């Protein structure tokens, strides 16, 4: 019996060795997106525009892939715990660290404002401290990457509420239609297109991850049969289409042309996920970058580094992206990413060795 259990555990670990790899690659993409300076750059030359768009579009699969992996991982938890037990565990492992780093960011922003106002002699709160902190929390919750933690938990709660329908295809189809509604909204602007407005736009990908886990053997059998050339070709096709959609939206005045829920980006993200499934686990990533332990901490810390640290490191005029060519801005974005990711990784690994490892999900 013990041998059979160990064998089963080994097989399960071997079967799911792709999880940490996809989780790590997705987080690299998310951090690069948020660190990149290319968002604010404007180019008129066609070649420059293509270089800018292709660089930013390449990583746009990361968010959907992360929700897919999140759904894949929580499938077992849904069967092991009651909704109340699961949400209680989520509060301990997710909400507490999330709130901790939000407060850290608020405090750091306040210290920065105090230093600036001491130099200028201005009032710190302009006579309205409540308004100041209300705006701080509003910005962090809805304008920064901290929003996606809240969004993720809302999506999980929805699946828990409708747990009895979790493996029904019609249930997934409803959420797929809702996700596509956000896609079409980019062209019609029935409501705000900002990421914080996409409250229910990512439920489908979490559900799809749950569904993938349930039928994993059948899915992997199909993925393994696919030819590498076919998978790569279809990825390239959707990548190019996604780039063209960015340019189309930009040309027609959209302020959210890189929105993750663009139709072409949805298909690009799904086909990239299939490609990553086919690649499987990468030992270098699992052994060196330790995604299982470090991913959540990197996500929580990286936004703080972008807001607080990067402006201080790159505050000189020589780092003004407006003076750079597109090639220089691509290199500049890579440099910013390396600074943010390496420091966030280092802080996370250090905290995991302390008594406050809970702050990074440890």
Which residues neighbour 252 within 8 Å (Cβ) at sequence distance 6 or greater? 187
How many angstroms separate the CA atoms of 266 and 60, rounded?
A: 9
Six token digits for residue 248? 């189309």
Which residues neighbour 212 within 8 Å (Cβ) at sequence distance 6 or greater? 68, 71, 72, 219
Domain tally, the chain: 1
Q: Is residue 9 part of a domain?
A: no
Q: Is residue 7 part of a domain?
A: no
Residue 6 pLDDT: 38
Distances (CA, A) of 269 to 18, 78, 82, 193, 249: 16, 25, 32, 19, 19
Q: Is residue 235 part of a domain?
A: yes
Phi, psi of 121 (to 5 degrees): 85, 10
Q: Is residue 96 part of a domain?
A: yes
Q: What is the dihedral angle through the alpha carbons of 76, 78, 84, 89, rounded to the nearest 10 degrees? A: 30
Residue 14 pLDDT: 45
Residue 342 pLDDT: 97
Its domain, for residue 276, covers 19-58+66-360
pLDDT in tens, the chain (362 residues): 333 333 334 444 445 788 999 999 999 999 999 999 988 778 888 999 999 999 999 999 999 999 999 999 887 777 676 767 777 777 778 899 999 999 999 999 998 888 878 777 677 777 778 888 888 888 898 888 899 898 888 898 899 888 889 999 999 999 999 999 999 999 988 877 776 677 789 999 999 999 999 999 999 999 999 999 999 999 999 999 999 999 999 888 888 899 999 999 999 999 999 999 999 888 888 888 888 899 999 999 999 999 999 999 998 878 888 888 999 999 999 999 999 999 999 999 999 999 999 999 87
How many angstroms separate the CA atoms of 202 and 155, rounded?
A: 7
The CA-to-CA distance between both ends of the chain, in Å, stands at 32
Q: Is residue 2 part of a domain?
A: no
Residue 43 pLDDT: 85
CB 203 within 8 A of CB 166: no
Residue 346 pLDDT: 96
Q: Is residue 226 part of a domain?
A: yes
CB 164 within 8 A of CB 136: no
How many angstroms separate the CA atoms of 181 and 202, rounded?
A: 12
- Cβ count within 10 A of residue 161: 10
How many angstroms separate the CA atoms of 5 and 95, rounded?
A: 34
Residue 198 pLDDT: 77
Using CB atoms within 10 A of its CB, is residue 309 exposed (0-12), middle (13-18) or buried (19+)? middle
DSSP 126: T
- Cβ count within 10 A of residue 206: 25
pTM of the model: 0.89
Concatenated DSSP letters of 48-95:
HHHHHHHHHHHTTTHHHHHHHHHHHHHHHHHHHS-HHHHHHHHIIIII
Six token digits for residue 156? 């999980």
Q: Is residue 287 part of a domain?
A: yes
DSSP 324: S
Q: What is the dihedral angle through the alpha carbons of 194, 199, 205, 209, rounded to the nearest 10 degrees? A: 140
Q: Is residue 6 part of a domain?
A: no
Distances (CA, A) of 80 to 9, 39, 89, 190, 270: 17, 43, 12, 41, 28
Half-sphere exposure of 83 (CA within 13 A, CB side): 10
Which residues neighbour 229 within 8 Å (Cβ) at sequence distance 6 or greater? none
């Amino acid at each position: 019996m013990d041998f059979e259990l160990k064998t089963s555990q080994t097989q399960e670990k071997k079967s799911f060795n792709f999880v940490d790899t996809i989780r790590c690659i997705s987080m690299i993409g998310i951090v690069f997106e948020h660190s990149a300076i290319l968002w604010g750059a404007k180019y008129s030359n066609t070649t420059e525009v293509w270089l800018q768009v292709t660089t930013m579009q390449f990583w746009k699969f990361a968010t959907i892939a992360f929700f897919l992996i999140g759904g894949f991982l929580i499938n077992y938890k849904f069967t092991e715990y009651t909704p109340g037990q699961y949400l209680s565990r989520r509060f301990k492992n997710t909400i507490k660290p999330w709130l901790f780093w939000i407060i850290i960011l608020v405090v750091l922003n306040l210290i920065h404002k105090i230093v600036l106002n001491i130099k200028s002699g201005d009032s710190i709160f302009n006579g309205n401290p409540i308004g100041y902190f209300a705006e701080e929390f509003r910005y962090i919750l809805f304008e920064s990457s901290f929003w996606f933690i809240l969004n993720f938990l809302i999506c999980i709660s929805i699946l828990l509420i409708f747990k009895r329908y979790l493996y029904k295809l019609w249930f997934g189809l409803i959420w797929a239609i809702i996700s596509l509604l956000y896609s079409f909204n980019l062209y019609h602007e029935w409501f705000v297109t900002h990421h914080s407005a996409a409250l229910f736009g990512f439920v489908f990908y979490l559900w799809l991850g749950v569904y993938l886990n349930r039928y994993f053997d059948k899915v992997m059998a199909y993925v393994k049969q696919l030819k590498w050339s076919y998978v790569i070709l279809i990825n390239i096709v959707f990548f190019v289409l996604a780039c063209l959609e960015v340019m189309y939206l930009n040309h027609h005045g959209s302020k959210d042309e890189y929105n993750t829920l663009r139709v072409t980006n949805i298909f690009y993200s799904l086909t990239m996920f299939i490609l990553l499934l086919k690649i499987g686990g990468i030992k270098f990533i699992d052994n060196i970058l330790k995604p299982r332990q470090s991913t959540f901490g990197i996500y929580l810390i990286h936004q703080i580094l972008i807001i607080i640290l990067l402006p201080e490191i790159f505050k000189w005029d020589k780092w003004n992206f407006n003076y750079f060519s597109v090639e220089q801005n691509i290199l500049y974005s890579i440099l910013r990413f390396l600074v943010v990711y390496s420091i966030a990784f280092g802080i996370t690994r250090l905290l995991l060795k302390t008594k406050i490892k809970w702050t990074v999900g440890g």
